[in-house]
Amino acid sequence: ASEGVPRRRLAEAGWLGLEVPEELDGAGVTFAETAVVLEELGRAAARTGYFGTAVLAAGTLTALQPTAERDALLRRTANGTQALTAALVDATDDSLVTGTFDDTDVPFRIEDSPAGPRLSGHAGFVPDAAGADRL
């Protein structure tokens, strides 16, 4: 089976770095531009890790306080040298309504192992996990 749309092509088009700040080699645009790409990839039924890498992971990273590691991950995301994704939790209806969700509600942890970081526990949704280099 083919890999779908190669990450290299997405990076060359500049799509992986749309929401990555310009100073980190991205385009620094808003989610509106990213949504256009998502819509067209969906219209074409394209097999790609774009959602996990360029939307969830890059969006999560840009929301964090800047650090050297965060900035390096964003640069590698934008240039296509690393595919990332985010593990999402199943929030309870009450926590969504009341805004009481906190890190004690997370049913998984990322732990160090001899082979590198490992997800331990249960994540409700990890899009594009099979093609990701890092969670």
pLDDT at 128: 86
Residue-averaged pLDDT of the chain: 85
Q: How confident is the model at residue 1 (pLDDT cuts 50, 70, 90)?
A: very low
Domain boundaries, position 55 = 7-131
Higher pLDDT residue, 114 or 11? 11
CB 75 within 8 A of CB 25: yes
Mean pLDDT of 126-131: 84
Query: What is the pLDDT, as a whole number, of residue 96?
Result: 54
CATH of the domain at 54: 1.10.540.10
- Rounded CA-CA distance 87/119 in Å is 9
Name the domain count of the chain.
Answer: 1
What is the reported pTM? 0.77
Within-domain flag for 1: no
Quick one: average pLDDT of 48-59? Answer: 92
pLDDT in tens, 74-105: 999 999 999 998 888 766 655 555 656 566 66
Which pair of tokens denotes residue 65?
A: 């306080």
Residue 102, pLDDT score: 63
Report the distance separating Cα 82 and Cα 89, nearest Å. 23
Q: Which two tokens stand for residue 111?
A: 């732990």
108 domain residue, yes or no: yes
With respect to residue 88, please indicate whether it lies within any of the assigned structural domains. Answer: yes
> How far is the C-alpha of 18 from the C-alpha of 13, rounded, in Å?
10
State residue 62's pLDDT score. Answer: 93
Q: Among the residues of the chain, which ranges form H helices?
A: 7-12, 31-43, 50, 58-63, 68-79, 93-98
Structural contact between residues 24 and 79, judged by C-beta atoms closer than 8 angstroms: no
Find the mean pLDDT for residues 49-64.
92
The token duo for 58 is 């890059």
